[in-house]
Amino acid sequence: MKMGTALIYDEEMTKYKLLWVDPACKIEVPERLTVSYDALIQNGLTDRCVSVPVREATDADILQVHSEEYLEAVKKTPYMTLEDLKEFTLQYGDVYFHPNIYHCAKLAAGAALQLVDSVMTGKVRNGMALVRPPGHHSMRSAANGFCVFNNVAIAARYAKQKYGLKRVLIVDWDVHHGQGVQYCFEDDPSVLYFSWHRYEHQKFWPQLRESDYDSVGKDKGAGFNINVPWNQVGMKNSDYLSLFCHVLLPVAYEFCPDLVLVCAGFDSAIGDPEGKMCATPDIFAHLTHLLMNLAGGKLCAVLEGGYNLTSLPQSVCQTVQTLLGDPAPRPANLDGPCESALESLHCVRSAHRQYWSSLKHAADLPTSDISTKRIKLAEEEEGKSENGEEETSEEVWPEPLKRVPPPIRTAVVLPDGVTCPDGCKRFSSLEDPNQESVNKLRETLLKAEADSVALATLSSLIALVEKMEKNEICNGLALVADVSMAMMRLVQHAATAPHSRLLVVCVGDEVVPSLDTDDGKTLLVQFSSKESDKQKSKYHINVCLKKGCSDALGFTQAVLSLLLPLGYEYDPSLVLLVRMSDSGVCDSAWQQLTGLLLGLAQGRTLVLMQEAEKARVGLTASSLLGDAAPSLGQLDAPLPEDVEALERLRHRLQADWKLLQTTAAPDTGRGDAP
Ligand code: X5A
Ligand code: ZN
């Protein structure tokens, strides 16, 4: 099933540049593209992608978003003198023209359309277009912020029209607000636009009132525009992940897009002179991964900004390598979100809770009035002296490690008679000549095992886990007679390894034998429909859903806003996913869970299932192999009790797990409910 990744690039788009002195524009250089493409070559990624040629967007394509007057005006720029170009440029903000930019702008928009075509026709699963000029600031009748035509907005209109798509999600992770995209779809409920951006209470370019969290869309489009203002610089990986887990992903799954477009700007990465943020390039592997199971995996990333010529190519590589299906690296040093990020998160959730069932129980707005703060800060700014240009220390960060996927992606331990799914490797410890450690473990751990078949299975599991730890196998799947017992044995085994951190995710009501988890070497999260009586520890969490795991959306929301943040903060070295025979989980939700968990522990997930569930082997293996999970479909809102219970559980666990926080201190409002 796994299809390829398109890469669209054409050197022609490096053939325009700033021809005069303009400090605001000097960072938008042709090298942005060449260093990115060279890095892809260096990492062997271009060879792994399907190279798709660019084309020029037609007038008709461009007119889907831009006015005729504007298009006609831009058409004249190739024939202008330098003086005329300068003059023409002056009517717009922070942009420059060049005799060749119109040609490049047509190619940039056309590249986005070629990408949409490649994905929608099934030629590839996903892809990225490396383009200049960028697009998300350009408006119906105006160039702006280095952008001439709005590449992604044009692509969204095109996708809707040509392929009859009902819903398109646009994720704008560029550090600037794509106001052009917002204006284009403001009243359109078929396009959900999410943007986070450096804002600093309206002090940062483009300094628009309508970039704030309270611009939620208009008329029928109310709720379909999500702005996350960053009011401080220096946002880190945990701030970005927190926004994904607690705003974007819950809403995106509820929206259920047919296609995901990414305004993929990398000026939100560390070292960027515009963004001044501190998120490391590897975070883009996770942001990409987290979007790759929406829309059946149909994702098109189109380059926007990114001006640090070191972090830009690193971030591009992280994105493309993830699109290709390689496991993401373990995210470096995650802590909780900072206070300012929490305040933004809190405001956005609160502004959108009337539109999205997953946010329905978000807390009220913080009592400190954020808009008052904005006005006050704006006034303060007026009185300030002009020489306020703060000096910037050069940011340094380690180069991301090469991501070398294990030679074997998915190994399966199956009873005789169950066929091995395509693409997987049947695994048995008996075939392994080098089983000293297994034999030793067998003696110490498995003495109690009377049943020889069970014994063979358990030693295979332990051997498999060891190969996963040694990076010889990425992930695995096993059918076992007794899932609880296999789980216990693996937990005991993990406890003996020095650096092991095991995340155990149990799906179903079966009683889990109580594990000694207090040393932090194991984090156990169980999803069930049974309220648990005993007080669990920080490392033993029971997520109770009234409808159990059979409510696909309710269950997925719990995965997104509880399990993922816990998982990211815990940072396991291995994930054990246990499917109990009474789980009741539907196939698409199960595949979503499996796919999402692969973002943790470098994709090292071992799935345990009861033998009777052999009918689920194929689809589980497909998820482990990296196929996109099928989308859940547009579903009814989860049970309000379940959403509320989840909110309460999150609130209770917040003290121990900072990534579960969704409100700024001091905590007020309904989040406080017992
Ligand atoms: C695409 C993009 C930034 C413009 C900044 C102007 N534009 N100060 O990142
Ligand atoms: Zn930008």
Encode burial over 225-255: b for 16+ CB neighbours within 10 A, e otherwise: bbbbbbbbbbbbbbbbbbbbbbbbbbbbbbb
Ligand 1 in contact with 330 (CB < 6 A)?
A: no
In the structure encoding, which two tokens stand for residue 283, read together?
């975070």
Q: Ligand 1, closest atom to CA 306?
A: 9
Of 272, 307, 337, the residue that ends a domain is: 337
**293 close to 595: Cβ distance less than 8 angstroms:** yes
- d(C-alpha 21, C-alpha 338), whole Å: 38
pLDDT digits (tens, 9 = 90+) for 527-566: 998 887 666 789 999 999 887 778 888 999 999 999 999 9
Q: Is 126 helix (H, G, I), strand (E, B) or coil?
A: strand
Ligand 1 in contact with 176 (CB < 6 A)?
A: yes
Residue 371 resides in a domain = no
Ligand 1 in contact with 134 (CB < 6 A)?
A: yes
The pLDDT of residue 184 is above 50: yes
Same domain, 418 and 269: no
Give Cα separations from 17 to 26, 48, 275, 644 (angstroms): 9, 30, 22, 54
The closest alpha carbon to 536, from 550, 527, 549, 525, belongs to 525
Same domain, 322 and 419: no
Q: What is the pLDDT of residue 673?
A: 39
Same domain, 278 and 422: no
- d(C-alpha 589, C-alpha 595), whole Å: 10
Q: Please, what is the end-to-end C-alpha distance for the chain in angstroms?
A: 47
**495 close to 467: Cβ distance less than 8 angstroms:** no
Higher pLDDT, 497 or 490: 490
The average pLDDT across 137-155 equals 99
Same domain, 312 and 418: no
Higher pLDDT, 581 or 245: 245
Angle between helices 483-496 and 452-469 (to 10 degrees): 40
The closest alpha carbon to 2, from 366, 324, 463, belongs to 324
- d(C-alpha 568, C-alpha 548), whole Å: 24
Ligand 1 in contact with 265 (CB < 6 A)?
A: yes
User: Ligand 2 centre and the CA of 221: distance in Å?
Assistant: 24
Q: Which of 98, 137, 361, 540 is catalytic?
A: 137
Residue 296 resides in a domain = yes
Same domain, 93 and 218: yes
Backbone dihedral angles phi then psi of residue 608, each to the nearest 5 degrees: -110, 130
Residue 368 resides in a domain = no
Same domain, 420 and 309: no
Single pTM value for the model: 0.95
Give residue 465's pLDDT band: very low, low, confident or very high (50, 70, 90): very high
* Pairing verdict, β 126-129 and 5-8: parallel
Provide Rg for the chain, Cα atoms. 25
Per DSSP, the chain holds a count of helices (H) and strands (E) of 21, 16
User: What length does the chain have?
Assistant: 674
**Distance from chain centroid for Cα 504:** 22
pLDDT digits (tens, 9 = 90+) for 393-436: 678 999 999 999 999 999 999 998 999 999 999 998 776 555 56
Higher pLDDT, 642 or 608: 608
Residue with tokens 């943040």: 565
The pLDDT of residue 308 is above 90: yes
Same domain, 527 and 611: yes
Q: What is the pLDDT of residue 644?
A: 86
The pLDDT of residue 386 is above 50: no
- d(C-alpha 293, C-alpha 596), whole Å: 8
Sheet holding 605-610: strands in order across?
425-426, 408-413, 473-480, 605-610, 574-579, 502-507, 522-528, 540-544
Residue 607 resides in a domain = yes
Of 318, 337, 356, the residue that ends a domain is: 337
Atom 6 of ligand 1, nearest CA residue: 145
Residue 450 resides in a domain = no
Please spell the DSSP secondary structure of 425-486, one letter per residue: EE--GGG-S--HHHHHHHHHH-TT---HHHHHHHHHHHHHHHHHHTTSEEEEEEEES-HHHH
Same domain, 507 and 608: yes
Q: Ligand 1, closest atom to CA 175?
A: 9
Same domain, 248 and 100: yes
Q: How many domains does the chain have?
A: 2
Cis peptide before 133 (omega within 30 of 0): yes
87: CATH:
3.40.800.20
> DSSP state, 246?
I
The pLDDT of residue 25 is above 70: yes
Atom 3 of ligand 1, nearest CA residue: 145
Encode burial over 95-123: b for 16+ CB neighbours within 10 A, e otherwise: bbbbbebbbbbbbbbbbbbbbbbbbbeee
Q: Is 242 helix (H, G, I), strand (E, B) or coil?
A: helix
Beta bridge partners of 197: 229
pLDDT digits (tens, 9 = 90+) for 4-17: 999 999 999 999 99
Q: What is the pLDDT of residue 436?
A: 60
Boundaries of domain holding 122: 5-337
Give residue 80's pLDDT band: very low, low, confident or very high (50, 70, 90): very high
Tell the burial category of 534 from Cβ atoms under 10 Å away from its Cβ (0-12, 13-18, 19+): exposed
In the structure encoding, which two tokens stand for residue 13, read together?
């788009």
The average pLDDT across 430-459 equals 65
% of the chain beyond a pLDDT of 90: 77
Beta bridge partners of 525: 505, 541
Residue 353 resides in a domain = no
Q: What is the pLDDT of residue 669?
A: 43
Same domain, 74 and 168: yes
Q: Which residue out of 28, 33, 92, 198 has the highest number of ligand 1 atoms within 8 Å of its CB and is therefore the one to mutate?
A: 28
Of 274, 302, 337, the residue that ends a domain is: 337
User: Ligand 1 centre and the CA of 305: distance in Å?
Assistant: 6
Higher pLDDT, 456 or 43: 43
Q: Which residue out of 94, 139, 198, 262 has the highest number of ligand 1 atoms within 8 Å of its CB and is therefore the one to mutate?
A: 94
pLDDT digits (tens, 9 = 90+) for 520-531: 899 999 999 888
Nearest ligand to the CA of 137 is: 1
Atom 1 of ligand 1, nearest CA residue: 305
Please state the three-class secondary structure of 82-114 as a single string. HHHHHHHHHCCECCCCCCCHHHHHHHHHHHHHH
Q: What is the pLDDT of residue 432?
A: 59
Q: What is the pLDDT of residue 668?
A: 44
pLDDT digits (tens, 9 = 90+) for 560-574: 999 999 999 999 999
Same domain, 417 and 333: no
Residue 167 resides in a domain = yes
Q: What is the pLDDT of residue 382?
A: 54
Q: 66 an active-site residue?
A: no
Give residue 510's pLDDT band: very low, low, confident or very high (50, 70, 90): confident
Residue 50 resides in a domain = yes
**DSSP element (H, E) containing 167:** none
